[in-house]
Chain A
Amino acid sequence: MMQKEFCRIISQTEIAEDIFELSVKGELVSQINAPGQFVHIRVTDRWGPLLRRPISISSFNKATKQLTMIYRKEGQGTALLAKMVPGMELDILGPLGNGFPIEEVSSGETALLVGGGIGVPPLYELSKQLAAKGCNVIHVLGFQTKSTVFYEQEFLKNGETYVATVDGTYAAKGFVTDVVDRLRFDCIFACGPTPMLKALEQHYSDKKMFLSLEERMGCGIGACFACVCKKADDPLGVSYKKVCSDGPVFRAGEVVI
């Protein structure tokens, strides 16, 4: 059950260039039911920037009632968010959406987690939970350039981790999809740019796969119909799914991406 709550900021750190890790404490943490869910944040008590910002949850701890988000400072809203300091309160609506189904991978099976850029964060909680239940977890993480790489060490604790940078300034040069070809796995979980998700869906259509989509949102709760996508079994018709409330995680082949 989602709720709207003023959550206290516990910490905020710039962990890579323009990449911030923000932890807050609140009762709504108890409502999180899967890795890959997100929260909708109001970054000001004024009316500009107007809309909330959807940000994925990168990890949470129900015992301490804390959740952590990792976001990229990019526009007006995230620039304001980046200036906030511990002790301040943040207007958060959440948890929202449906996360990754960890029950789809059994103990002993291998899960491949593929993340691109700011699509990497929600995979972290997923990685922790899969590793905890005895799955083999392999990570392939793509970034633009060396200065924007984050969480490599954290992911390494849970399993093999391959990093690729588009410009080759760190680790392998190229896209995550170049790395995936060499690996063996039972199931893919991915979050990142749409071209990356499309490439994975096309190349590994024989594999079990779950993709987390991104779309511009209005309300974040399913009321405004801003973030709809077509269902794959009715591409020309009126059938649809809402990324915010039916997703953001879908089984590959369920919707047109």
Chain B
Amino acid sequence: MSRLNVELPGLNLKNPIMPASGCFGFGREYSQFYDLSVLGAIMIKATTVEPRFGNPTPRVAETDAGMLNAIGLQNPGLEKVIAKELPWLSQFDVPIIANVAGSLEEDYVAVASEISKAANVHALELNISCPNVKTGGIAFGTIPEVAKQLTRKVKEVSEVPVYVKLSPNVTNIVEMAKAVEEGGADGLTMINTIVGMRLDLKTGRPILANRTGGLSGPAIKPVAIRMIYEVSQAVSLPIIGMGGVQSAEDVVEYFYAGASAVAVGTANFVDPFVCPTIIEELPPILEKLGFEHISECKGRSWKQHEPFAHYRA
């Protein structure tokens, strides 16, 4: 019996591990390393109506235990994603979560209504939290009423469940989560990157051409854990957690916080095999901790539960 299968709205996952959007392209590069069918799901790169080039370079800067990126939602546009990338991905036995981005409400609606028709797209991830685009993104992700309205509009046209990706760059993330829940979201994904900046020692100027970028990697994991801990107690939506996940232990920690599945982002750049490695290492860790199934870990940080009686060190 599998210890790892997870059922979420629209998603029947053989395991709760998936690469995070923007860190895996459309899967082609990583398919050179392993069979993508081992993954629980794939969150594909953000798709906008029109093709986007994105920001000037430099687009990445390393930080302590993390990195800043300001790619700027570069993608080939809705038409190409539907005509080329999704059909290519259909050779794998893996559900796709399509990340939907835009500048205006109608952009999101246009992408959502089309991309949700693809057979292998089992859910949408509404990207209202990209810190690296000048218009759209941020306002949708920081004003509860705007986020709620957008969620409602996208829900009206989407043929699959809609998960909303929350930004950590807000004063009150619980308020945002509640707003999109009221807007009809089927789930949450969190957290997107944290806005940050690095300056060049020799010039005094920002290293990134975009000046600011989104911080990801192990450095942000405690922030994500805290936010999931808070949000999972305040709403009844399932959460796909992300932010600095690099090991099976991290996955368990995310479940303890209240997540129902976990996405792996930056770690793919460091170790292209990180997702299959985590999937392989999870069962023995659950065994060691005394769990029959990963779902037993969920929300342990705040739920009433028996002490860890049978920890096998």
Question: Which residues of A approach B to under 8 Å, CB–CB?
Answer: 1-2, 4, 42, 47-52, 93, 215-230, 237-238, 240, 245
- Shortest Cβ-Cβ A-B pairs, 3 listed: A223-B25, A223-B29, A219-B269
CA distance A114 to B272 in the complex (A): 34
CB distance from B216 to the nearest CB of A (A): 9
B62 within 8 Å of A (CB atoms):
yes
CB distance from A125 to the nearest CB of B (A): 24
Query: Which of B24, B45, B57, B272 is close to A229, meaning CB atoms less than 8 Å apart?
Result: B57
Contact sample, A vs B, 7 pairs, CB 8 Å cutoff: A1-B32, A4-B273, A42-B270, A50-B266, A224-B22, A225-B54, A228-B54
CA distance A247 to B57 in the complex (A): 16
Given contacts A47-B65, A221-B272, contact A216 B51 (CB under 8 A): no
B: contact size bracket: 35 or more
Contact B29 A230, beta carbon cutoff 8 Å:
no
Contact B268 A225, beta carbon cutoff 8 Å:
no
Contact A224 B53, beta carbon cutoff 8 Å:
no
Contact A50 B66, beta carbon cutoff 8 Å:
yes
CB distance from B31 to the nearest CB of A (A): 10
Contact B33 A226, beta carbon cutoff 8 Å:
no
CB distance from A5 to the nearest CB of B (A): 12
CA distance A237 to B52 in the complex (A): 9
Residue from A49, A218, A222 whose CB has the most chain B CB atoms within 10 Å: A218
Contact B24 A223, beta carbon cutoff 8 Å:
yes
Residue from A2, A222, A224 whose CB has the most chain B CB atoms within 10 Å: A224
Query: Which of A47, A93, A230 is close to B217, meaning CB atoms less than 8 Å apart?
Result: A47
CA distance A225 to B269 in the complex (A): 11
Contact A216 B60, beta carbon cutoff 8 Å:
yes
Chain B residues with CB under 8 Å of A51's CB are: 60, 62, 67, 269-270
CA distance A48 to B67 in the complex (A): 10
Contact A226 B69, beta carbon cutoff 8 Å:
yes
Chain B residues with CB under 8 Å of A222's CB are: 25, 28-29
Chain B residues with CB under 8 Å of A4's CB are: 33, 271-273
Chain A residues with CB under 8 Å of B64's CB are: 48
CB distance from A96 to the nearest CB of B (A): 11
Chain B residues with CB under 8 Å of A217's CB are: 60
Chain A residues with CB under 8 Å of B51's CB are: 238
Main secondary structure on chain B at its contact with chain A? Answer: loop
Contact B67 A225, beta carbon cutoff 8 Å:
no
CA distance A51 to B63 in the complex (A): 9
**Supplied contacts A223-B29, A225-B25, 16 more A-B pairs, CB within 8 Å:** A4-B271, A42-B270, A47-B217, A48-B64, A50-B65, A50-B217, A51-B67, A52-B270, A218-B69, A219-B268, A221-B30, A221-B32, A222-B29, A223-B269, A224-B269, A228-B74
Chain B residues with CB under 8 Å of A47's CB are: 65, 217-218, 246, 270
Contact A48 B23, beta carbon cutoff 8 Å:
no
Contact A52 B71, beta carbon cutoff 8 Å:
no
Given contacts A226-B60, A245-B29, contact A218 B67 (CB under 8 A): yes
B211 within 8 Å of A (CB atoms):
no
Contact B218 A230, beta carbon cutoff 8 Å:
no
Closest to A48 in B: B65
Given contacts A225-B74, A228-B54, contact A218 B269 (CB under 8 A): yes
Chain A residues with CB under 8 Å of B60's CB are: 51, 216-218, 224, 226
Among B1-50, those with CB < 8 Å from A are 22-25, 28-30, 32-33, 45
Contact A50 B71, beta carbon cutoff 8 Å:
no
Contact A50 B69, beta carbon cutoff 8 Å:
no
Query: Which of B30, B59, B74, B273 is close to A216, meaning CB atoms less than 8 Å apart?
Result: B59
CA distance A195 to B123 in the complex (A): 47
CA distance A220 to B62 in the complex (A): 14
CA distance A215 to B64 in the complex (A): 20
Contact A226 B71, beta carbon cutoff 8 Å:
yes
Closest to B273 in A: A4
Chain A residues with CB under 8 Å of B270's CB are: 42, 47, 50-52
B284 within 8 Å of A (CB atoms):
no
Given contacts A47-B270, A51-B62, A222-B25, contact A215 B57 (CB under 8 A): yes
Closest to A234 in B: B53
CA distance A251 to B54 in the complex (A): 24
Contact B52 A238, beta carbon cutoff 8 Å:
yes
CB distance from B47 to the nearest CB of A (A): 13
Query: Which of A215, A216, A240 is close to B61, meaning CB atoms less than 8 Å apart?
Result: A216
CA distance A99 to B272 in the complex (A): 22
CB distance from B130 to the nearest CB of A (A): 13
Residue from B59, B66, B269 whose CB has the most chain A CB atoms within 10 Å: B269
Chain A residues with CB under 8 Å of B58's CB are: 215-216, 226
CA distance A221 to B28 in the complex (A): 10
Query: Which of A52, A93, A240 is close to B74, meaning CB atoms less than 8 Å apart?
Result: A240
CA distance A229 to B53 in the complex (A): 9
CA distance A217 to B218 in the complex (A): 18
Closest to B50 in A: A238
CB distance from A232 to the nearest CB of B (A): 14
CB distance from A19 to the nearest CB of B (A): 20
